[in-house]
Amino acid sequence: MTPIILLDTLLAIILLVLAVVALHSENLRQSIFVFIVFGLVTALVWARLGAPDVALAEAAIGSGIAGALLLAALRDRQPGCEHIEPRPSWQVLTVTYLVIGVGLTASWAFLDAQASRSGPAIGEMVQAELAHSGVSNPVTAVLLNFRAYDTLLELAVLFAALIGVMALGPERSAPQAAGPLVSHFVAWLTPLLILAAGYLLWVGAHAPGGAFQAGALLAAGGIIVRLSGKSGIFPKGAWLRVLAASGYGVFLFVGLAVMAGDNAFLQYPSDWAGSLILLIEIFATLSIAASLLLVYLGGYPNAWMEDKESQHA
């Protein structure tokens, strides 16, 4: 056996063990922490499979932001919800057999598809057209040029989720101000995060990176600032919400604006493609950061309601 297959088998076993512990542990806190570790090991697997952009996104969004959301939900959980009776065993057995059946069918279909693969067709098409796309990172080219419509709708989904979260209830209670060590650490870390986010945004055109990873870093910076008790630096009033809407808005605007030059919707002219992609990515980064931060704050912000009331008074 070659050493790489040994590494792969080890990673697979680790992922399986982590998944089983996260799903079936008695202690919900342990489940959530193990889920965060699961996300980080998954990021390792993505890096091993030659997907560094996905690895960055998984570590930042799938493990970082999702972990922060789950831990905040754990904190909000009231202690009186321990009314969980286990399901009757006939239900457990039926579902287990059904899921085993589904899994075996899917595995058979997957192995069949692997055996009859006829070479990388779409990958070659992407590489052939890469020169006309305006960027040299194929994943960014696919995300923001070849399949820009999917990314537009993804930003719309994120925005819709934000509207849902804001409609559902008031903001979480703010944490108390943190001690001096954490405050100074956050004060040093936040400019570094902003710098790193800007770098990831810029470098996404020709190396692994891009708008989503940069937006997630900014959102993580915002969450850390919030957790250290200093939410005063966030944009006030409606600005954060305007930022959250601007990603989708600017993308839609660019997509419609290029139609003026006798192109189809979202069909960038070749020599403008790089600049248009950068413009869209800048607003997408700010928008993703604002959306993820607002979704973490959770619900309609209380402070802004008080601002409104004091204006009417």
Partner 1 sequence: MIDLLSIFLIAGGLFFYCAGTVGLLRLPDTLSRLHAVTKADNLGLGLLALGIALQIGDPLSAVKVLLIWLLVLAASAAGGQLIAQHVVEQKEETK
Partner 2 sequence: MLDASTLYGLLGIFLASLGLHATILQRDILRRILAINILGVGVFLVFIATAYNGPGVAPDAVPHALVLTGIVVAVAATALALALQRRLEMLRRESDDE
In the complex, the residues that contact partner 1 under the rule CB under 8 A are 178-179, 181-182, 185, 188-189, 192
- What part of residues 145-184 is at the interface with partner 2 (CB under 8 A)? 146-147, 150-151, 154, 157-158, 160-162, 164-165, 168-169
Q: Which stretch binds partner 2 (CB under 8 A): 67-75, 185-193, 244-252, 305-313?
A: 67-75
Nearer to partner 1, 5 or 181 (CB): 181
Nearer to partner 2, 108 or 178 (CB): 108
DSSP label at residue 300: B
In the list 281, 286, 295, 301, the residue contacting partner 2 (rule: CB under 8 A) is 295
In the list 10, 12, 259, 305, the residue contacting partner 2 (rule: CB under 8 A) is 12
How much is the CA Rg of the chain, to the nearest whole Å?
23
Nearer to partner 2, 87 or 312 (CB): 87
| Token output for 63 | 């493990």
Nearer to partner 2, 84 or 181 (CB): 84
Q: Residue 142 in 3-state DSSP?
A: helix
- Closest distance of CB 288 from partner 1, Å: 23
Q: How far apart are the C-alpha atoms of 101 and 109, rounded to whole Å?
A: 12
Q: Which does 91 bind (CB under 5 to 8 A by kind): partner 2, partner 1, none?
A: partner 2
Q: Which does 181 bind (CB under 5 to 8 A by kind): partner 2, partner 1, none?
A: partner 1
Total residue count of the chain as it appears in this document:
313
Q: Would you count residue 10 as binding partner 2 (CB under 8 A)? A: no
Burial 264-291 (b: 16+ CB within 10 A, else e): eebebeeeebbebbbebbbbbbbbbbbb
CA atoms within 13 A on the CB side of 169: 5
List of long-range contacts for 299-302, beta carbons under 8 Å, 24+ apart: 299/165, 299/166, 299/168, 299/169, 299/170, 299/171, 299/172, 300/166, 300/167, 300/169, 300/170, 300/171, 301/171, 302/170, 302/171
Nearer to partner 2, 2 or 311 (CB): 2
Q: Would you count residue 40 as binding partner 2 (CB under 8 A)? A: no
- Closest distance of CB 243 from partner 1, Å: 27
- Closest distance of CB 87 from partner 2, Å: 6
Q: Would you count residue 103 as binding partner 2 (CB under 8 A)? A: yes
Q: How far apart are the C-alpha atoms of 152 and 284, rounded to whole Å?
A: 10
CB 280 within 8 A of CB 251: yes
- Closest distance of CB 45 from partner 1, Å: 19
CA of 158: how far to CAs of 19, 102, 268, in Å? 26, 30, 24
